[in-house]
Amino acid sequence: MKKIPEDIKRLDEKIADLKSKEKYVRQDRQESEFVHATKAGFRVGTELLSGVLVGAAMGYVLDGIFSIRPWLLVIFMFLGGAAGVVNVYRFAKTEEQKRKE
């Protein structure tokens, strides 16, 4: 059986101490309705915008590769927008389930 060095033991103790401090800091606290609504609003906006931007970027790159500007840009922008709407729908469903619990 191998003997564990003292510095490793101290490091394990320090990690355990920091984990307990982190657990104390991250205790569940009630957040105000305004904070919850603000977080949800930013998430919805980010989901929609990121879907459109990623779709547009993919369409732009593919347009450059296939040289059929601007058709793939337009198509992928709409697909990205649809993906953003689907993500927002999923988020709304999970929020609804959290509210019911």
Six token digits for residue 43: 């998430």
pLDDT attached to residue 10: 92
Question: Which amino acid is located at 75 in the chain?
Answer: I
What's the length of the chain? Answer: 101
Question: For 23-47, how does the pLDDT look when each residue is reduced to its tens digit (9 = 90+)?
Answer: 888 777 777 889 889 999 999 999 9
Helix (H) or strand (E) holding 83: helix 71-100
Average pLDDT over residues 14-25: 89
Average pLDDT over residues 11-21: 92
